[in-house]
Amino acid sequence: MQHLASTSADLIVAGFHALSDPLRIQVLELLQQHELCVCDLCDALNVSQSKLSFHLKKLKEAELVRSRQDGRWIYYSLNLPQIVALEQYLADYRRFSPMLPARNC
């Protein structure tokens, strides 16, 4: 596995941190089909806009979602290149499988 540059490592850490919350996972699942505005996400998740905004901020910081403004509405969509980067990071560990028994030192 390659050594990650600091900014790359920071994004990997932020990505996995963002994925550690069930509400953020639900947001990503809703965005799998198409982009949604904040009001649609709030309705689908039955959460307040202020609570959702906090979670969307974490997802944006991790670069897992993108936003675009259209008039007064903000629409969110998946940022697939960053999702692929997290997937590739985990895929690099496949070479360690099957796990070897631990050796006594």
Segment 27-83, tens digit of pLDDT: 999 999 999 999 999 999 999 999 999 999 999 999 999 999 999 999 999 999 999
In the predicted structure, residue 102 carries a pLDDT above the cut 60: no
CATH topology of domain 6-91: Arc Repressor Mutant, subunit A (1.10.10)
Encoded tokens for 64: 């897992």
From the list 64, 69, 68, the residue with the least C-alpha distance to 82 is 64
- 6-18 vs 49-61: helix crossing angle, rounded to 10: 150
For residues 76-94, average pLDDT:
91
In sequence order, which residues have a C-beta less than 8 Å from that of residue 32 and are 6 or more positions away? 78
Residue-range domain boundaries for the chain: 6-91
The answer to whether the CB of 54 falls within 8 A of the CB of 92 is no
- What's the predicted TM-score (pTM) here? 0.81
